[in-house]
Amino acid sequence: MDTLHWPLSVLAKSIPYKNLSGASAHVGLSQPQLSRLIAQLEKEFSVTLLDRSARRKAAWTPAAYRLAEVYSQNSRRLESALREALEEQFPPHIHVGTLEGLSDLAIKVAHAILAGTKVKTLELAVIDQDELEAKFLNNDIDIIFTARLPARHQKLKHVLEIGYQTLDVVSTEAGFSVMSPFEYGQQKRKPSDKTFISNSLSMRKAWLNSYGGRGLLPSEPHMAAATNLSGHLPVLVVSPDNLNERVWTVVCQTLC
């Protein structure tokens, strides 16, 4: 019976056309090929599907219409069952990590995933750049909002660049350097000023507003392509290739 799926699908596609010659032009088979498939079905089910007694062109019998209808109905049921089975494969718990400066975008996507998929629980954490990359590479996180790809030599399927940020210099004469742990670790020469380090963007902003100093603060995300790469940080959304495709589609639809 398994070998009859294709002939039955061809029959279902052929039925809308009045006869064999009309159908062959639309199903991608020659008339002799189509005739042989119909003959195979007639032999298997011991029925006549094509009335070949017509003088001009053979026409479909009532049995052909009925067989095609039954096949089409069951095919739709199978497709529906398969879709339901695939939908059940949604991960029950999704972990999202974001840089603090991209948290508004991350919250927007988190809401879209919970509202638009069968995911039951979503955990969103604000993480600095180094830890964000480490968690992603260790498969401890499902979606990240970041300023750079976590693995430059790895070709990832789920990468979405949605805009850019600029790093704006805030500077007063207060004599403090204000940095994130990532920025501090990247400094080849450590600052001579007294240094305040925090992994919280809001805390660094509060320090600069209250006590002054010198630090870099990311701008709000610009939802457009960067025209000048110098001084711009890309806004990237990245997930492993095995993320549920429906979840990734929701991410793309929410941000694009």
**In CATH, what is the architecture of 93-255?**
3-Layer(aba) Sandwich (3.40)
Helix (H/G/I), strand (E/B), else coil: 177 = strand
The proportion of the chain whose per-residue pLDDT surpasses 90, expressed as a percent, equals 40
Q: Please report where in the chains the tokens 């990311």 appear, as a residue.
A: 218
CA–CA distance, 72 with 81 (Å, rounded to integer): 14
pLDDT (tens digit, 9 = 90+) per residue, 224-252? 775 666 668 899 999 998 888 889 999 99
Tell me, what's the pLDDT at 54? Answer: 65
Tell me, what's the pLDDT at 153? Answer: 54
The fold adopted by the segment(s) 2-87 is Arc Repressor Mutant, subunit A (1.10.10)
pLDDT (tens digit, 9 = 90+) per residue, 51-69? 877 656 678 889 989 998 9
Q: Is the separation of the CB atoms in 102 and 221 below 8 Å?
A: yes
Question: Token pair of 203, please?
Answer: 């805390």
Tell me, what's the pLDDT at 28? Answer: 83
Helix (H/G/I), strand (E/B), else coil: 237 = strand
Element (H, E) at 195: strand 194-197
Phi, psi (rounded to 5 degrees) for 173: -100, 25
CA–CA distance, 136 with 119 (Å, rounded to integer): 20
CA–CA distance, 126 with 98 (Å, rounded to integer): 5
Tell me, what's the pLDDT at 224? Answer: 78
What integer best gives the mean pLDDT of the chain?
Answer: 87
The pTM of this model reads 0.62
**What number of H helices and E strands is found in the chain?**
9, 10
Tell me, what's the pLDDT at 31? Answer: 86
DSSP character string of 132-170: HHHHHHTT--SEEEESS-S-TTS--SEEEEEEEEEEEEE
pLDDT (tens digit, 9 = 90+) per residue, 150-198? 876 567 889 999 999 998 999 988 889 999 988 898 888 888 889 999 9
pLDDT value at 33 more than 70: yes
Helix (H/G/I), strand (E/B), else coil: 182 = helix
Q: Is the separation of the CB atoms in 24 and 80 below 8 Å?
A: no
CA–CA distance, 148 with 99 (Å, rounded to integer): 11
* Domain locations in the chain as residue ranges: 2-87, 93-255
Query: Which residues are 177's β-sheet partners?
Result: 195, 214
pLDDT value at 205 more than 90: yes
Ranking 20-24, 44-48, 143-147 by mean pLDDT, the lowest is: 20-24
Query: Which residues are 216's β-sheet partners?
Result: 169
Tell me, what's the pLDDT at 77? Answer: 84
The proportion of the chain whose per-residue pLDDT surpasses 70, expressed as a percent, equals 91
Higher model confidence: residue 24 or residue 201? 201
